[in-house]
């Protein structure tokens, strides 16, 4: 009999309980600001009561979904009177930080307090990482799992904790966009920068300008690998866009995950797909074709009234879909070749008393900013918007290194840091590039990302306040599938999340690496793709 039992144990593998004893107790990423280990544990079972009030229905649902991962058949009691076996979610105005939370676990009770539902949501994300890793094929009839006793008092270091995704170069389905939002939320990051328009594809329905998607969302093929010259295409058409209904659904989904979406509508460059649809908005250099190879193209919008009317109409529809305060307007990599030759562009430089074509770009962006400000929104632009003079209220996204961010902060403009060296997740993760999927180049290891310090040392404490945070950028020229995107972001975004959340003095690479071993088991359990070699001990 004993032998049969023993064999049965071997067959079902380790229990979740056994796994919990093996894994480091507090393998949380990003690691909380303050964590006090305690003796003992809380047992979660079918007897556990969930207590939360009406204002926290969304978080209550999230709590249930976390537990259902272990107990798929149990319907948990809610709002029970019991004072034991309880997990309670509680709004607490005395907590200072908007996104802050406190999490208390003892043998009788788990309590998560937050100033806001966002704080409570983050407390739940932390709780999810205190539960044992459940292997994909684990027994679904678990009787109980345990949570180690602990006291956590936590809030983020930076207010802006973002991930970007380029859906212009390659289109990704709605289910993946939601999964990406889940990953952002899981890492207690709060912003999804959705890069929706590109030379190679316009991906958002604009009702007033149907050709943007009829023509601009389709390209006849994609450059094969890196066959720039001589050009070689793959002959396979690429298309796709999000309808406004789908966008609304994604925005609503992101809201439940406490993620704000910042849409990006590129201007005046990276606009070839829009020009293919509406060639009259160009500098008379058409006809245009949706891009099939990568790079920076000379064809940009003409700075004429028809273009401003078009962009204001487009942005009006975009504003109606996205409730967040920021609209990203691009501004990067807009060659001035066409404006130099264009009579119209030159006449505006003259008429407006602008210094040169950079002054004209600044004029262009300031007009868009004025429009968006009049609608109660603020602009973010890539650091090229510094050239020719910053728009008065603009936030700068520093990508060509950190200098743009430093300059903007010194001018008292808010800044989001995304320097290529640390924050471009389209770079290779390993030096062994032959073993990696094709990437744009570069080398940005997980350790490199972890070493990033978003606040430049040369800024004064006063200037440092303008650094809102940082973001990982994911340009998808060479990422044709969502699995590929997952592989490129995981676990680099895990490293970035800790850079952005945890106090600087608490950061410790060796400790992070240990905790990452547990997190990647969770990735395995969820069937996520990630760069395994990037986390293996060196
Ligand atoms: C960028 O990478 N062109 C912002």
Domain ranges of the chain: 16-154, 160-507
CA of 482 to the centre of ligand 1 (A): 20
pLDDT of residue 80: 65
pLDDT of residue 205: 98
Q: Which atom of ligand 1 is least distant from the CA of 399?
A: 4
pLDDT of residue 139: 62
Q: Which atom of ligand 1 is least distant from the CA of 424?
A: 2
**CATH topology identical between 16-154 and 160-507:** no
Provide Rg for the chain, Cα atoms.
Answer: 25
Collapsing DSSP to helix, strand or coil, 162 comes out as strand
CA of 332 to the centre of ligand 1 (A): 6
Question: What is the DSSP-derived secondary structure letter of residue 161?
Answer: E
From the number of C-beta atoms within 10 Å of its C-beta (0-12, 13-18, 19+), residue 373 rates as middle
CA of 275 to the centre of ligand 1 (A): 20
From the number of C-beta atoms within 10 Å of its C-beta (0-12, 13-18, 19+), residue 537 rates as exposed
Q: What contacts 54, CB < 8 A, 6 or more positions away?
A: none
pTM higher than 0.85, yes or no? yes
The predicted-structure confidence for 363-379, as pLDDT tens digits, reads as follows 999 999 999 999 999 99
Fold of 16-154: Chitobiase; domain 2 (3.30.379)
CATH class assigned to 160-507: alpha beta
Q: Whose CA is nearest to atom 3 of ligand 1?
A: 332
Q: What contacts 231, CB < 8 A, 6 or more positions away?
A: 223, 293
Q: Whose CA is nearest to atom 2 of ligand 1?
A: 399
pLDDT of residue 330: 98
Candidates 111, 116, 122, 121; CA nearest to 95 is 116
Q: Which atom of ligand 1 is least distant from the CA of 420?
A: 2
CA of 471 to the centre of ligand 1 (A): 12
pLDDT of residue 135: 72
pLDDT of residue 536: 73
Q: Which residues of the chain have pLDDT under 70?
A: 1-23, 79-80, 136-140, 537-538
pLDDT of residue 161: 98
User: Which residue ranges have their beta carbon within 6 Å of ligand 1?
Assistant: 332-333, 382, 399
């Amino acid at each position: 009999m004993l032998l049969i039992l023993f064999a049965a144990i071997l067959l079902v593998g380790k229990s979740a309980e056994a796994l919990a004893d093996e894994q480091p107790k507090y393998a949380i990423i990003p690691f909380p600001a303050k964590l006090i280990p305690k003796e003992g544990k809380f047992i979660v079972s079918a007897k556990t009561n969930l207590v939360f009030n009406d204002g926290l229905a969304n978080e209550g649902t999230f709590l249930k979904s976390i537990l259902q991962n272990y107990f798929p058949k149990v319907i948990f009691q809610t709002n029970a009177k019991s004072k034991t076996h309880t997990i309670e979610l509680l709004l607490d105005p005395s907590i200072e930080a908007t996104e802050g939370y406190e999490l208390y676990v003892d043998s009788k009770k788990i309590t998560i307090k937050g100033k806001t539902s966002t704080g409570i949501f983050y407390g739940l994300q932390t709780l999810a990482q205190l539960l044992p890793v459940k292997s994909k094929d684990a027994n679904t009839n678990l009787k109980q799992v345990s949570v180690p006793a602990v006291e956590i008092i936590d809030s983020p270091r930076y207010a802006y904790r973002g991930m970007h995704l380029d859906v212009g170069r390659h289109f990704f389905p709605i289910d993946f966009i939601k999964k990406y939002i889940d990953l952002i939320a899981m890492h207690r990051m709060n912003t999804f920068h959705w890069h929706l328009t590109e030379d190679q594809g316009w991906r958002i329905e604009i009702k007033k300008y149907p050709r943007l998607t009829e023509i601009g969302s389709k390209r006849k093929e994609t450059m094969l690998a890196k066959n720039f010259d001589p050009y070689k295409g793959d002959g396979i058409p690429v298309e796709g866009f999000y309808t406004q209904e789908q966008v609304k659904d994604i925005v609503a989904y992101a809201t439940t995950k406490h993620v704000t979406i910042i849409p990006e509508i590129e201007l005046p460059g990276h606009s070839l797909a829009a020009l293919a649809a509406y060639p009259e908005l160009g500098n008379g250099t058409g006809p245009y074709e949706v891009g099939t190879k990568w790079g920076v193209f000379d064809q940009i919008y003409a700075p004429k009234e028809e273009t401003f009317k078009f962009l204001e109409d487009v942005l009006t529809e975009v504003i109606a879909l996205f409730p967040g305060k920021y609209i990203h307007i691009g501004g990067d990599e807009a060659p001035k070749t066409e404006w130099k030759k264009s009579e119209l562009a030159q006449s505006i430089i003259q008429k407006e008393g602008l210094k040169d074509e950079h002054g004209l770009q600044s004029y262009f962006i300031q007009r868009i900013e004025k429009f968006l400000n009049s609608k109660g929104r603020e602009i973010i632009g890539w650091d090229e918007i510094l050239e020719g003079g910053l728009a008065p209220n603009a936030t700068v996204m520093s990508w060509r290194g950190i200098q743009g961010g430093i300059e903007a902060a010194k001018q008292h403009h808010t800044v989001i840091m995304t320097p290529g060296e640390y924050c471009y997740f389209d770079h290779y993760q390993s030096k062994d590039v032959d073993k990696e999927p094709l990437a744009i180049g570069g080398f940005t290891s997980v350790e490199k990302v972890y070493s990033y310090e978003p606040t430049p040392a040369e800024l004064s404490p006063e200037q440092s306040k303008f650094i809102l945070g940082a973001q990982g950028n994911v340009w998808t020229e060479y990422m044709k599938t969502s699995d590929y995107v997952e592989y490129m972001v995981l676990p680099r975004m895990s490293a970035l999340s800790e850079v952005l959340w945890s106090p600087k003095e608490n950061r410790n690479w060796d400790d992070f690496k240990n905790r990452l071993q547990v997190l990647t088991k969770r990735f395995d359990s969820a069937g996520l793709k990630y760069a395994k070699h990037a986390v293996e001990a060196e």
